[in-house]
Amino acid sequence: MSLIGRIFVILFAFLAACFVAGMIVVGAVLYPEISDLAGEPIDEDAINVLLGFGFIFLSGFALLPALIVVLITEAFYIRSVLAYAVGGAIVGAACYLGLIPFDTETLRFDGIIRRHLEIMTGAGIVAGLVYWLVAGRNAGAWRQPPSPLRPPPPLPSRSRPLS
């Protein structure tokens, strides 16, 4: 597979992984609102969360951390499903922690909500698995040389080689 073709496969796999992760995050965040038995309209704050997370995933917020994982796996021919799941968890956690303010005096993140961190990490794991299904199983395949050509058939017995 050529390098340009591989880049398109990686891009498609990244978009598919972001789409699945976005569905998981929005579904998990909106689940308390949707499962309410009162049947009232969804709260405006929930709609804002839906639009916010949709914007984050569509704008490529996870692009840079995911690109680092993709470059590492492509460079070292890493095709293990576990590596992509762990890489997705790290990317998901990094995306969530990128939204949380960091206090430089105490060296702590302020306002971490454990449930949201778990949702983002879980969505990252599933996104890593989706990426592996689409593109990760063939990581580094573009660097393999093409298969050798078959040798020519033998010359007839009465002919002499050209020299």
Instruction: Tell me which residue has tokens 């790290």.
Output: 90
pLDDT computed for residue 59 by the predictor: 59
Instruction: Tell me which residue has tokens 């992760």.
Output: 21
Q: Under a CB-based contact definition with an 8 Å cutoff, are residues 9 and 134 in contact?
A: yes
pLDDT higher than 80, residue 159: no
Using one digit for the tens of pLDDT, what is the confidence trace for 114-154? 988 999 999 999 999 999 999 999 988 777 777 788 888 88
pLDDT computed for residue 118 by the predictor: 93
pLDDT computed for residue 68 by the predictor: 93
pLDDT computed for residue 73 by the predictor: 93
Instruction: Please tell me the distance from the alpha carbon of residue 2 to that of residue 144, in angstroms, as a whole number.
Output: 10
Using one digit for the tens of pLDDT, what is the confidence trace for 63-98? 889 999 999 999 898 999 999 999 999 999 998 888
Query: pLDDT category, 28, cuts 50, 70, 90?
Result: confident
Instruction: Please tell me the distance from the alpha carbon of residue 45 to that of residue 69, in angstroms, as a whole number.
Output: 33
Instruction: Please tell me the distance from the alpha carbon of residue 76 to that of residue 117, in angstroms, as a whole number.
Output: 29
pLDDT computed for residue 51 by the predictor: 64
Using one digit for the tens of pLDDT, what is the confidence trace for 36-51? 656 667 677 776 777 6
pLDDT higher than 90, residue 9: yes
Give the dihedral of Cα atoms 70, 76, 79, 81; nearest 10 deg.
-60
